[in-house]
Amino acid sequence: MKVTQKDVDHVAKLARLGMTDEEKDRFTKQLSRILEYAETINKLDTKNVSPTSHAIPMKNVFREDKTIPCGNMGDIVANAPSAENNMFAVPKIME
């Protein structure tokens, strides 16, 4: 798969990932190469194969629906780059 600069712009937007022009240029080339290599898996016939998401059988785990303490709120909010009144503060979202 040949990755174009336009693809890189689109994917970077999906990932909310800012990049310098130099990085975009480099990734365009490297992603093409890596994807070309990844496509070697197309040699395998998987028509009747089901996908594996976890290799060890997993089941959903339920617990009783009751509130339990989850640590000190102050310690958690203390990690925020910006906080007000024990809440995360972010730039204005709507005008």
Is residue 85 close enough to count as binding another protein by CB under 8 A? Answer: no
Q: Is 80 in the site for another protein (CB under 8 A)?
A: yes
Residue 7 parent element (H or E):
helix 5-14
Q: Name the minimum Å distance from CB 32 to another protein.
A: 11
CB 47, min distance to another protein, A: 9
C-alpha 28/C-alpha 11 separation (Å) is 11
Q: What single-letter DSSP state applies at residue 56?
A: S
- Binding string, residues 15-44; x marks residues near another protein by CB under 8 A: xxxxxx--x--xx--xx-xxx-xxxxxxxx
